[in-house]
């Protein structure tokens, strides 16, 4: 069982917007602004999409945005495109001795 809870799957049509949630506790997501999001295509390494809750690395499309409210962080993808179909993982700093925890991952299907 992962430390952070994500929906197993979400789907949307091209051009639509979707949101993936990531729920933790006050010891991780809710207590710190160190939430990151990763995109992983099958057989590939993960790619950083969002860091520190809402910051986009250079080169990442502005269709990807992040936010946080309480113990839940969210990744929103607007203007869905076929190439957005992938698995998405959230991660957070945690005050436990295991300093970083991941969510279980969400499979995004573009219909």
30 binds other proteins (CB under 8 A): no
66 binds other proteins (CB under 8 A): no
Cα–Cα distance measured from residue 85 to residue 94, given in angstroms and rounded to the nearest whole number: 29
Q: Least distance (Å) from other proteins to the CB of residue 84? A: 19
104 binds other proteins (CB under 8 A): yes
| φ/ψ (deg, to 5) at 84 | -80, -15
45 binds other proteins (CB under 8 A): yes
Dihedral Cα 84, 81, 110, 47, nearest 10 deg: 0
**Quick one: 29 or 77, whose CB is closer to other proteins?**
29
Interacting residue with other proteins among 38, 64, 73, 108 (CB under 8 A): 38
**SS3 for 82?**
helix
Using left for φ > 0, alpha for ψ between -120 and 50, and beta otherwise, residue 71 falls in: alpha
Q: Classify strands 47-50 and 9-12 as parallel, antiparallel or unpaired.
A: unpaired
98 binds other proteins (CB under 8 A): yes
Residues in contact with other proteins by CB under 8 A are 2, 34, 36, 38, 45-48, 51-52, 57, 89, 91-93, 96-105
């Amino acid at each position: 069982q992962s430390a952070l809870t994500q929906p197993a799957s979400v789907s949307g049509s091209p051009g639509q917007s979707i949101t993936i949630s990531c729920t933790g506790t006050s010891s991780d997501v809710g207590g710190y602004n160190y939430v990151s999001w990763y995109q992983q295509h099958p057989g590939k390494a993960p790619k950083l999409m969002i860091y520190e809750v809402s910051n986009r690395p250079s080169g990442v499309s502005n269709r990807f945005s992040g936010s946080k409210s309480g113990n839940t962080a969210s990744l929103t993808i607007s203007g869905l495109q076929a190439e957005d179909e992938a698995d998405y993982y959230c991660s957070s700093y945690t005050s436990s001795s295991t300093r970083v925890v991941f969510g279980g991952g969400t499979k995004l299907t573009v219909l």
